[in-house]
Amino acid sequence: MRTAIEFDELVDYFRQTLSHFPDKRLGKNVRYGMEDAGLGAFAVFFMQSPSFLAHQKTMQSAKGHNNASSLFKIKTIPSDNHIRDLLDPVSPEAIFPVFDKIFDVLVEMQYIESFRFLDGQLLIPLDGTQYYSSKEIYCKQCSKCEHKNGEITYHHNVLTPVVVCPGRSQVISLPPEFIRPQDGHEKQDSETAAAKRWISGVGARYAELKTTLLGDDLYSRQPMCESVLKAGYHFIFVCKRDSHKGLYSDYIDSGLAMGEVQTQRRKGKIKDQLHYRFMNKVPLRDGKGALLVNWCEIKIINASGKVTYQNAFITDHEISASNVEEVVLAGRTRWKVENENNNTLKNGGYHLSHNFGHGKENLSSLLLAFNLLAFLFHTVLHFTDKRYRLLREHLGRRKTFFEHVRSLTEYLFFDSWTDLLNFMLKGQKIVFTFDSS
């Protein structure tokens, strides 16, 4: 069983996929290859440096070599305008095989097993996020919001599934699903419609791995739950009282027998009471044909008797006194798709909401997919590259690590990613001893 994956290997996976990108140009007399255009755009996100390519062009002119070539195997550095023009016709789905390949390698290396929870389940939260908005610039893939004053706001939203696990700060990015106009549909696309497409489309491969989908109250409707079950998934979705009035009035508040568990949690001198309630086989909605689901609730009460947190969930997992805490913890872990993924991408240096180029067809969506893939590359390196892990832990903040990388690669040439990490380790006086970890 393999125990590591090198940065060069990840780049090779990507280059192989880029070699199949459709090229709108006619003839063979072209200056830049599609691989160079794709890797050039990707390098900006991986290095978290919008000016990375410009610095490397300067280095090439001054020194005869550059880090874009040595690190990312870019033969000729394209201009930003060339990159945008060449990539605009390419659908973001064209790079999904790279996500699949990396996931398969993580399965082979058994890193995926370390994410299992709740009787060996993989947990995948579904959540949409907006990454572009403008009243002036738009493309054929934009959704639009028409305001009462006649103005129109154009925007891009995306569903960003990830594998999460309670107690782990890392998440594993999976192929996204874009919320965008659909052929043959007059209505605006929606997050739940996109989720259903993902579940039956690119996400179908994860169902056979014993997987539970997580989601907020938007997902806890019978059509969505039935779609999830039909695809072979389990689910744990938030279940709010206001949107499930019949369930609460007829069953939860009716005085019927209900399981209860009470525990304590201590953090330093602070001690909280955790109250759990659960009920199995209750109808999700009124009327005939209602889906039977299992319901549970958590209340966290501090020493003064104040409720500091309360939430409820529905699931197809049978709930008991022995597993209700795990079911609730799994359900609450859905926040990681926002905090550990979307917020990191927006505020942690990846500039998810920055307009690197909108294009007329697919550019905005394709660059978003590159950004997610760059985040996945860094996650994999954290798992499998001890040098990388030591530096990240030593430097602390993610932004600090990238500030060092940007500064070094702007002025110094490195033969490889490993050489760059070794230089940083030496500069920080971090002792590195190679082993299988």
- Mean pLDDT value across residues 76-84: 92
Q: Flag whether pLDDT at 227 surpasses 80.
A: yes
Q: Does residue 304 sit in the same domain as residue 251? A: yes
Q: Flag whether pLDDT at 119 surpasses 60.
A: yes
The pLDDT value given to residue 15: 93
The pLDDT value given to residue 405: 96
Q: Does residue 311 sit in the same domain as residue 401? A: no
Q: Does residue 381 sit in the same domain as residue 311? A: no
Among 51-55, 219-223, 398-402, which stretch is predicted with the lowest mean pLDDT? 398-402
Domain boundary among 318, 346, 374: 318
Largest distance between two CA atoms of the chain: 79
- Give domain status of residue 344, yes or no: no
d(CA 407, CA 437): 29
Residues spanned by the domain of 255: 236-318
Domain boundary among 318, 344, 365: 318
Q: Does residue 289 sit in the same domain as residue 382? A: no
- Give domain status of residue 300, yes or no: yes
Enter the DSSP assignment of 79: P
Half-sphere exposure of 429 (CA within 13 A, CB side): 0
Residues 6+ apart with CB under 8 A from 298: 274, 275, 276, 309, 310, 311, 312, 328, 332
Percent residues over pLDDT 90 in the chain = 69
* Three-state secondary structure string covering 347-369: HCCCCCCCCCCCCCCCHHHHHHH
d(CA 388, CA 405): 12
- Give domain status of residue 145, yes or no: no
- Give domain status of residue 173, yes or no: no
- Mean pLDDT value across residues 209-214: 96
Query: Other CB atoms closer than 10 Å to residue 134's CB: what's the count?
Result: 14
- Give domain status of residue 132, yes or no: no
The pLDDT value given to residue 212: 97
Q: Flag whether pLDDT at 242 surpasses 90.
A: yes
Q: Flag whether pLDDT at 434 surpasses 70.
A: no
The model's pTM: 0.91
> Which pLDDT band holds residue 4 (cuts at 50, 70, 90)?
confident
d(CA 365, CA 212): 27
Q: Does residue 375 sit in the same domain as residue 311? A: no
Query: Other CB atoms closer than 10 Å to residue 288's CB: what's the count?
Result: 5
The pLDDT value given to residue 237: 98
For the chain, the domain total comes to 2
Q: Does residue 314 sit in the same domain as residue 373? A: no
- Mean pLDDT value across residues 157-176: 92
Domain boundary among 318, 340, 373: 318
- Mean pLDDT value across residues 185-212: 90
- Summary mean pLDDT of the chain: 89
d(CA 322, CA 310): 20
> Which pLDDT band holds residue 437 (cuts at 50, 70, 90)?
very low
Q: Which of 203, 412, 222 is nearest to 213 (CA)?
A: 203
Q: Does residue 8 sit in the same domain as residue 84? A: yes
- Give domain status of residue 6, yes or no: yes
> Which pLDDT band holds residue 174 (cuts at 50, 70, 90)?
very high
Q: Flag whether pLDDT at 354 surpasses 60.
A: no
The pLDDT value given to residue 432: 76
Q: Are 228 and 199 in contact (CB under 8 A)?
A: yes
- Give domain status of residue 435, yes or no: yes
> Which pLDDT band holds residue 351 (cuts at 50, 70, 90)?
low
H or E segment and range at residue 310: strand 307-315
- Mean pLDDT value across residues 42-50: 92
pLDDT digits (tens, 9 = 90+) for 269-307: 788 999 999 999 999 998 889 999 999 999 999 988 899
- Mean pLDDT value across residues 220-224: 96
Q: Are 243 and 258 in contact (CB under 8 A)?
A: no
Give the residue, 282 or 185, on which the prediction is more confident.
282
- Give domain status of residue 182, yes or no: no
Among 2-6, 331-335, 346-350, 423-427, which stretch is predicted with the lowest mean pLDDT? 346-350
- Mean pLDDT value across residues 96-115: 94
3-class SS of residue 281: strand
Task: Return the C-alpha torsion angle 132, 134, 140, 143, nearest 10.
Answer: 70
Q: Which of 215, 221, 226 is nearest to 162 (CA)?
A: 215
> Which pLDDT band holds residue 216 (cuts at 50, 70, 90)?
very high
The pLDDT value given to residue 436: 47
Give the residue, 184 or 367, on which the prediction is more confident.
367
Q: Does residue 6 sit in the same domain as residue 53? A: yes
